[in-house]
Amino acid sequence: MNPFTASIFARLKIWPIFFIFLLFPFTFAQANDRIIVIKISGAINPVVAEFVSEEIETANREGDHLAVLEMDTPGGLDTSMRMIIKSIQSSRIPVVTFVSPQGSRAASAGAFIAISSHIAAMAPGTNIGAAHPVNVMGGGGSSSDEESTPMEDKVLNDASAYIRSLAESRGRNAHWAELAVRKSVSISALEAKKLAVIDLVASDMDALLLAIDGREVTAGEKPYTIKTVGKQRETREMTPRQQILDVISNPNIAYILMMIGMVGIYFELSNPGLILPGIIGGISMILALYGMQSLPVNYAGLLLMVLGVTLFIAELNFATFGLLSLGGAIALFLGSVMLIDSDDPAMQVSKAILIPTLLLSILAAIGTLFLAIRARNSPLVSGVEGMLGTTAEVKTALEPEGLVWLHGESWKAKCEEWAQPGETVVVEEVDGLTVKVKRSESESKKE
């Protein structure tokens, strides 16, 4: 820089800006060195789809070199899966899917995601496939082709064409991909490599990055040479907010929250004024409904559960000798069994969770009902009605009027018979501030 130019920079006091522009290319180059590892573990739901899509978009925006989806999933929702695949297809940097660690799987929606990636890899001891679409709209489903409905055939054909197009676009085995959808076939990592379903088998992340170094792929409709040696690696996981929402979207958690919500609201309606059960029940119900929006809910099952709680509440107001409670228990049981309508294990409520939660909820409801009925049938102990039939001690002689000691207070009393101080009388009637009494049987027998 000549002295004239330097004097201009000094006068304008723009040295800081000049240095920023000098450092900017260096900063951008540093961003290009990163390899982003995005972890996917569990069912593919809207929360996972949002997380993965945002990370891929961020990696593109920040100019990262490569994105790796380290995946272990039993499957998930079609809409969430397609959202992730759209992000992969529109990515300007390569997206690698790595089914890892050993023992993991890319089943159902996971198989679609792996096949759609620029590079698909698996660790030894993993498997891929079983991508038959399941019923995600509720209302029952068929278990065989002979019993399939036109709508189910339409969904199956759509999924088959979709996975075939994905495989063909990446130069993978489209025939096997279609079989994974139509016949639910599943194969190991070595078989997948042999059948050209995936590109390679790698023992771990380091081996994967070493194996794909120098490979050429097409990303963003442009040729792209992957260079992994010496690149900085960053692992991305869900934020605390996303982790909480992901947990709520778990079918088991959503079911537990639903039962807590129903029992809490039932407690509040059966014992107005408790407040706490109503608050807990309301919050749990809202969280359960949020989770169920991403699950294959059978609305007939949900209505049966609501009917069951309604019948328990009705039992409090109608003496049916337990008939309404029995109907409520049956409705809760049938509703719980029907609630999640899916053949996909990732979308089902575990029986180990369903049965104990259901039994505890029914027992809690019956227990509350029993206590409420017993309290309703117990004698009154307060107010005017609570005084009738109680005993009092004569304080001054009743001739026929005097004073008695009742409930720790002195009351004006009237008695048709004469009663001496210290004797026991029984309250028959309350008239304003005067009680009408009679001598107790024990005092009468003494005479």
Band of pLDDT at residue 369, cut at 50, 70 and 90: low
Asked if 58 and 6 sit in the same domain, the reply is no
Within a domain: 245:
no
Q: Is the model's pLDDT at 300 over the cut of 50?
A: yes
What local confidence, expressed as pLDDT, does residue 204 receive? Answer: 94
What local confidence, expressed as pLDDT, does residue 438 receive? Answer: 85
**How many CB atoms within 10 Å of residue 93?**
22
Domain holding 179: CATH number?
Answer: 3.90.226.10
Q: Which of 377, 405, 426 is the last residue of a domain?
A: 377
Q: Is the model's pLDDT at 310 over the cut of 90?
A: no
Band of pLDDT at residue 385, cut at 50, 70 and 90: low
Asked if 102 and 204 sit in the same domain, the reply is yes
Band of pLDDT at residue 13, cut at 50, 70 and 90: low
**What is the number of structural domains in the chain?**
4
Asked if 169 and 306 sit in the same domain, the reply is no
Within a domain: 244:
no
Provide the domain limits for residue 312.
Answer: 250-377
DSSP state of 268: H
Position of tokens 């790698």? 202
431 vs 20, which has greater pLDDT? 431
Compute the distance between CA of residue 124 and CA of residue 333 in angstroms, rounded to an integer.
42
- 131-135, 275-279, 379-383: segment of lowest average pLDDT: 379-383
Task: Report helix, strand or coil for 74.
Answer: coil
Band of pLDDT at residue 6, cut at 50, 70 and 90: low
* In the chain, % of residues over pLDDT 90: 36
Compute the distance between CA of residue 413 and CA of residue 404 in angstroms, rounded to an integer.
6
- Whether 75 and 344 have beta carbons less than 8 Å apart is answered as yes
Amino acid identity of residue 214, one-letter, is G
Among the ranges 30-39, 319-328, 341-350, 428-437, which has the highest mean pLDDT value? 428-437
Give whole-number Cα distances, 170 to 100, 226, 286, 378, 423, in Å.
21, 16, 42, 76, 103
Range 409-418 average pLDDT = 85
Asked if 58 and 142 sit in the same domain, the reply is yes
What local confidence, expressed as pLDDT, does residue 273 receive? Answer: 75
Burial of 409 (0-12, 13-18, 19+ CB in 10 A): exposed
The token pair at 113 is 């995601």
Asked if 353 and 405 sit in the same domain, the reply is no
Radius of gyration of the chain (CA): 37
Beta bridge partners of 225: 216
pLDDT tens sequence across 61-84? 999 999 999 999 988 888 899 999
Range 33-54 average pLDDT = 92
pLDDT tens sequence across 168-215? 999 999 999 999 999 999 999 999 999 999 999 999 999 999 999 999
- Whether 232 and 223 have beta carbons less than 8 Å apart is answered as no
Asked if 393 and 431 sit in the same domain, the reply is yes
Compute the distance between CA of residue 195 and CA of residue 173 in angstroms, rounded to an integer.
7
Asked if 180 and 292 sit in the same domain, the reply is no
Compute the distance between CA of residue 427 and CA of residue 434 in angstroms, rounded to an integer.
10
Among the ranges 46-50, 344-348, 406-410, which has the highest mean pLDDT value? 46-50
Q: Is the model's pLDDT at 22 over the cut of 60?
A: no
Of 182, 139, 140, nearest in space to 159 by CA: 182
Q: Longest C-alpha distance within the chain, in Å?
A: 133
Asked if 23 and 38 sit in the same domain, the reply is no
The token pair at 245 is 């929402």
Give whole-number Cα distances, 42 to 74, 110, 189, 203, 290, in Å.
7, 10, 19, 21, 18
What local confidence, expressed as pLDDT, does residue 3 receive? Answer: 53
Of 12, 211, 24, nearest in space to 120 by CA: 211
Q: Which of 206, 237, 268 is the last residue of a domain?
A: 237
Q: Is the model's pLDDT at 122 over the cut of 50?
A: yes
Asked if 265 and 216 sit in the same domain, the reply is no
Give whole-number Cα distances, 207 to 36, 73, 100, 197, in Å.
16, 22, 12, 19
338 vs 89, which has greater pLDDT? 89
Residues with Cβ within 8 Å of residue 129, at least 6 apart in sequence: 106, 107, 111, 180, 184, 185, 186, 187
Q: Which of 356, 377, 398 is the last residue of a domain?
A: 377
146 vs 432, which has greater pLDDT? 432
Give me the phi and psi of 202, to 5 degrees please: -135, 140
- Whether 292 and 259 have beta carbons less than 8 Å apart is answered as no
Range 356-370 average pLDDT = 77
Of 7, 202, 16, 187, nearest in space to 102 by CA: 202
Compute the distance between CA of residue 372 and CA of residue 349 in angstroms, rounded to an integer.
32
20 vs 241, which has greater pLDDT? 241
Range 149-170 average pLDDT = 90
393 vs 146, which has greater pLDDT? 393
99 vs 272, which has greater pLDDT? 99
Range 128-143 average pLDDT = 60
Within a domain: 243:
no
- Whether 333 and 355 have beta carbons less than 8 Å apart is answered as no
Within a domain: 359:
yes
Asked if 88 and 196 sit in the same domain, the reply is yes
Asked if 118 and 145 sit in the same domain, the reply is yes
Asked if 205 and 277 sit in the same domain, the reply is no
434 vs 372, which has greater pLDDT? 434
What local confidence, expressed as pLDDT, does residue 375 receive? Answer: 62
The average confidence (pLDDT) of the chain is 82
What local confidence, expressed as pLDDT, does residue 144 receive? Answer: 44
Band of pLDDT at residue 136, cut at 50, 70 and 90: very low
